[in-house]
Structure 1
């Protein structure tokens, strides 16, 4: 029944977004302008539908309830032609990590591999919730993508997710040839909490003198668990998908000890040294409580001499990459992201 309900909801959402722009504007309401930005019509409409469905954010009464809600989201696509997918298992100290590798069907030669870490506040999300995004990245960036299921909180608190992410990256480096890549062509990336983990893995791998990632793709990352910035006050209680309550709820599950939140494995912005880190593509959204800390991280990297591409999609909301199937605007932004990623990875190739 849950699957049937999900399909019905998806059909309704698709039908609404297929309506002419004036009708969608009528349904969404007057344009929302805040901080010299105007929210995209499709983002506003999606938020209106979410509110009508009684959903105010990403958290829930229990972690399990929040995980089910994310898994049953009606915006997931479910398939994409031209992408070959295979399940993998990554060994780790505590056992093993489920993973999934994606490859464009026409890609047969050795090339870059992106180790992708899903978002979800370290509490929710998995390879299934981010399947569409990883397929899209693989197909349109023309690369292999290895999506990793790390352990979730509160069953496994900090630094479990970081340790699993680092183990997955090291495994990809050690098994690069078997994965269709090479040790010096492994990139790291993720969205939201996954962006936090990707930044932390890049930082740790660089500092330990191991093979560092060739590139880091950070989609609206969390970078500082110790400070409350202006964007959180501006957008945390305005119904923009990720709420102030969500952020507190996620962090309290992942690392309830406030005194430990300055650890660079959780707050990479607070690391003492950001020099020599991999080229970074930092994507932020105008209507996102995490906007300011993501942009602060881009500035810190640039100040340390790291090549940085900083891009704010001023009209979008947190999590838009996972909402691609319902909105042309979200897909346009993703096409820009994959284009920039493809170009950046091309520039990292050795002659």
Structure 2
């Protein structure tokens, strides 16, 4: 891997989206400049803007998993016109383990359910610093167990379940896969890791090239997120919390998506290398001219729609 990375120009369409956000008065969350509660409010407003004009679905239902601690709210998006037990795909949202909620990527989850013909599951996992590791990971794994245990009532095929997530959600997806494997539970069919937040080690070419905040996400913000989620420094190199240090053998097929202008780019590249050495089947797609977080912008950005189509194709290939 090179010691440094070039700084290519941002996608012109992405720049137009940024201008629209500014003109609309949308303030993006900044945990370094505002209190956490304010940053969470900005994140909700930003997501609501991106989620405008959502595609309608005939059936969306919510449940509260009261047996988990704390109780976990989940939302199931059912594709129209589907019959029989359906595959399910659980997607954990990003936000550095500290911001975001069940409405994050709401439009995207609707679109994936519609296009892939699977039940998409969103969740409102507990956030740091109020709830530190391993709460969010254990809730995510608990949601998978609940889907399996209640598959018949939910109209889901317990043998065709996948998991994924973006950013911090990519961490939760991968650590959940590892937790299920290590517990000897039946493997899931598929996983999608989208610009995952997988390592607390930030001495990498992508952090040096893109971590100054010019493209939104910064190394300083990521340090803050890890501090909230893993205040114990010993966990920073633990396989259960920072999965790039884990033994990756025995995982199901994975799809890796990442942004080229992202300090987390090397997390995905390193995961790609380690999966290859572990013999885990996987595909990698890099979108070179967009930054972290771009998949949420399917209403406005062609690159986001391209990435969504790649996820849909992988879901239909592995789950249908």
Q: Would you say 1:46 and 2:17 are equivalent positions?
A: yes
1:200 Cα offset (Å): 0.4
2:152 equivalent to 1:181: no
Note the alpha carbon deviations across 1:50-93, whole angstroms, 9 max, x for none. 67869576424221111100101132225212452111112344
1:317 paired residue number: 291
Distance 1:83 1:264 in 2: 41
Map 1:51-62 → 2, pairs under 5 A:
58-59=30-31, 60-62=33-35
Q: Deviations over 1:156-178 (max 9, x none)?
A: 11111111111111111222222
- Stretch moving more, 229-238 or 135-144: 229-238
2:297 is the counterpart of 1:326: no
Take 1:264 and 1:48, find their aligned partners in 2: how far apart are those partners? 40
How has the CA–CA distance of structure 1 residues 41 and 344 changed in structure 2, closer, same or farther, with 3 Å as cutoff? farther
Q: 1:253 to 1:325 in 2, by over 3 A?
A: same
- Cα distance 1:302–1:79, how it changes in 2: closer, same or farther (>3 A)? same
Give the distance between the partners of 2:41 and 2:26, measured in 1 at CA.
Answer: 15
Q: Compared with structure 1, are the counterparts of its residues 149 and 300 closer, same or farther at alpha carbon in structure 2 (3 Å cutoff)?
A: same
The equivalent residue for 2:262 is 288
Does 2:231 correspond to 1:241? no
In the comparison of the two structures, how many residue pairs are matched? 312
The structure with more radius of gyration: 1
TM-score normalised by structure 1 residue count = 0.83
Matched, 1:145 2:120: yes
Q: Is the 8 A contact 1:183 1:211 kept in 2?
A: no
* Equivalent of residue 230 in structure 2, options 227, 252, 255: 255
1:90-148 deviation digits (Å, cap 9, x = unpaired)? 23442421110001111122121011111111001111122112111111111101111
Please give the alpha-carbon distance, in whole angstroms, between the structure 1 residues aligned to 2:113 and 2:278. 30
Match of 1:4 in 2: none
Q: CA RMSD in A?
A: 2.1
After TM superposition, give the deviation of residue 48 of structure 1 in Å. Answer: 5.0
SS, match of residue 310 in structure 2: helix
8 Å Cα contact 1:115/1:145 also seen in 2: yes
Q: Structure 2: give runs of 5+ residues left out of the alignment.
A: none
Q: Larger deviation: 279-288 or 257-266?
A: 257-266
Q: Distance in 1 between matches of 2:17 and 2:230?
A: 31
Q: For residues 208-227 of structure 1, what are the alpha-carbon distances to aligned partners after superposition, in whole Å with 9 as ceiling and x for unaligned?
A: 10122110011111111234
Structure 1 range deviating more: 105-114 or 283-292: 105-114
Provide closer, same or farther for how the CA distance between residues 91 and 54 of structure 1 changes in structure 2, counting only shifts above 3 A: closer
